[in-house]
Amino acid sequence: MKKKLLFIMLTFVLSSCFSSASAVNYTKNKISKADIVVANALKYKGVKYKYGGTTRKGMDCSGVVFVSFGEENIALPRSSRYMAKEGKKIALAKVKKGDLLFFKISRRSNQINHVGLVTEIKNGQIFFIHATTSRGVIVSSMSEKYWKNTFVKASNVL
């Protein structure tokens, strides 16, 4: 009798583990809002730089972010300076895909004037998409000295 009861309990426990495993797989395959926004941004990789631009003919850094979020009906201000006032400030070590990175890259201004969108974190390295005057819309790494030195803050807006 004890063996039968033990067998029934073991069967029940194992079957419940299998059903929860399939639920976990479903969750892993679910596409997040951040995934969609990043995919939107990556469509513009290679577009040339144009100050104030928001089309495939040319984009600036805030234009890439503005359009990528806008395609998902997420309203953000148009300029990096005002985008930096949105969302919740987070530590660089806590950023995730879809978060925003803000920089001061102009020597003439003491205000935030550049933004990038985190595309992935791989082997502890943070990659982000943005637009540069010389290379257009590109993906860069926060491990590059220039970006480390000009970084101001990170925000989560999703």
Q: Which residues form the catalytic set?
A: 61, 114, 130
**Cβ atoms of 132 and 138 closer than 8 Å:** yes
SS3 of residue 133 by DSSP:
coil
- SS3 of residue 71 by DSSP: coil
- Cβ-based neighbours of 96, under 8 Å, separated by 6 or more: 34, 118, 121, 156
CA–CA separation, 41 and 154 (whole Å):
18
